[in-house]
Structure 1
Amino acid sequence: MKQIIVIALLTITNMTMSAQNFESHQWKHRLVLVISSDGDSEIFQKQLEELSTDRKGLKSRKLIIYKILPENRQIPNKDNTWVYNSELCASYTKSGEPFKVILIGLDGGIKLEQNAVLTTEELFSKIDAMPMRQSELKNNN
C-alpha cells in the first residue's frame, strides 16, 4: 500500500512540476510543445529537425522548445528542454493522437495546435503577426 501511495505522489509531483515549469515562462518566453507518443517516430524527428534550422530566429522570438514524451529515454540533445510524463502527454493530446505541436504565447495561452510538422516559416509568421511581437519589434528599433 505504501508503494502505491509513493508512486501516486511522485506522479502528481512530476505533473505539477512540469506545469509549474511552463507557468514560470509566462511573460518571458513563448513555448513550442512538441508532443509525441513515440520519440523515434518520423514526424517527431522531422519536427525537431525543422525547429533546429533557425536557432537565431527562435531566440529572437523568445522561444523555448519542450519535447514531451511519455517515457524516459536517452537525451541526444541537451540544448532544449525535455519532459517525460505520460499524464502531461495525455493532457495535451486526444486519445490515439500520436503527435501534436502547440504554440503557447507570452500570456500563457495556446496560440496554435496542429498534428502536422510546423515549419519555422509558419511558426515565425504566426508569432510575428501577434500584437506583443509587433510591440517587441517596435521597441527594439
Structure 2
Amino acid sequence: MRLLLFSLLMLGMIGERPKKLEDFKWKNRIVLYFPQSPTLFQELSSELNMGIRERKIHYFVFGEQLNTNSEVDFSKAYVAELIKKYKSNCKDDCWVLIGLDGSIKLRMDGELDWVYIFKTIDSMPMRRSEIG
C-alpha cells in the first residue's frame, strides 16, 4: 500500500507542468517575444528547433494566444503579469533572453534574432562548460 501511494505521489510530481518562469531556473534558458501586432505563430525550421533544444531554450511568444515549445500551466493573470513586467517601455516588437540563473541577459527591440540569441548564449561561461 505504501509503495502504491509513493508511486502515485511521484507520478503526480513528474507530470506537473511549470506554473511560473521561476520553475525553469537552473534548468532552461527562456526567450520571451512580444510582437507588436498579434500575428499567427510560424513554425520553426528543424535546424532552428535543434539549436533551441541544444541550448535548452524554452520560448514564449505573446500574441493573440501564448505560443511556446513548453508544456506550461500559466494562468491568464500570470501571462498578463509577464507582459506588464517584460514588455514595459516597448513600443515595437521586442524580446527578452533570460539565463539559467533567472536573470535578464538581453532585452532587444525588433523581431526575434535567433542567430544573435545563439551567439550570446554560446559566449556565456555556463554554455561553454556545457559544450566543453
1:81 deviates by 5.9
Deviates more, 1:60-69 or 1:19-28: 19-28
The separation in 2 between residues aligned to 1:25 and 1:126, in whole angstroms, is: 19
Residue aligning to 1:97 = 91
Equivalent of 2:118 in 93, 115, 124: 124
1:60 has 2:59 as partner: no
RMSD between aligned residues: 2.9
Cα distance change on mapping 1:81 and 1:32 into 2, 3 Å: farther
Q: Measure, in 1, the Cα distance between the counterparts of 2:101 and 2:68.
A: 26
Structure 1 residues without counterparts, runs of 5 or longer: 1-18
Normalized against structure 1, the TM-score is what? 0.63
SS in 1 for 2:52: helix
| Alpha-carbon shift at residue 79 of structure 1 (Å) | 4.3
Where does the alignment leave 5 or more consecutive residues of structure 2 unmatched?
Answer: 1-17
In 1: Cα distance, 2:32 partner to 2:107 partner: 9
Deviation at 1:95, TM superposition (A): 4.5
State the Cα distance separating 1:113 from its structure 2 match: 0.7
Tell me the residue number matched to 2:25: 26
Distance 1:65 1:78, change over 3 A: closer
**Larger proportion of helix:** 1
Residue from 121, 128, 131 that aligns with 1:134? 128
Change beyond 3 A, Cα 1:88–1:58: same
Give the match for residue 107 of structure 1: 101
Partner-residue secondary structure (3-state), 2:119: helix
How many residues are aligned here? 109
Separation in structure 1 between the aligned mates of residue 80 and residue 36 of structure 2, nearest angstrom: 9
